[in-house]
Amino acid sequence: AQKITQTQPGMFVQEKEAVTLDCTYDTSDPSYGLFWYKQPSSGEMIFLIYQGSYDQQNATEGRYSLNFQKARKSANLVISASQLGDSAMYFCAMREPLNYGGSQGNLIFGKGTKLSVKP
Amino acid sequence: DGGITQSPKYLFRKEGQNVTLSCEQNLNHDAMYWYRQDPGQGLRLIYYSQIVNDFQKGDIAEGYSVSREKKESFPLTVTSAQKNPTAFYLCASSIPGGETQYFGPGTRLLVL
- Give per-residue pLDDT as tens, A27-70: 888 888 999 999 999 999 999 999 999 998 999 999 999 999 99
Q: Across the interface, do B42 and A109 touch by the CB < 8 Å criterion? A: yes
Instruction: Provide the pLDDT for residue A30.
Output: 87
Per-residue pLDDT, A101: 53
Of B50, B90, B102, the CB nearest to A104: B50
3-state secondary structure of A95: strand
Q: What is the pLDDT of residues B58-100, one digit of tens each?
A: 999 999 999 999 999 999 999 988 889 999 999 999 986 667 8
Please tell me which residue of chain A has the smallest CA distance to B31. A104
To the nearest whole angstrom, how far is the Cα of B61 from the nearest Cα of chain A? Answer: 14
pLDDT of residue A87: 98
CA distance linking residue A11 with residue A88, whole number of Å: 10
Positive or negative, the CA dihedral B52, A96, B34, B24 is negative
B23 interface with A at CB cutoff 8 Å? no
| Cβ–Cβ under 8 Å, residues A103 and A96 | yes
Of B88, B99, B108, the CB nearest to A33: B99
Q: Compute the CA torsion angle A101, A103, A106, A112 (nearest 10 deg).
A: -10
Q: Average of pLDDT values for A77-98?
A: 93
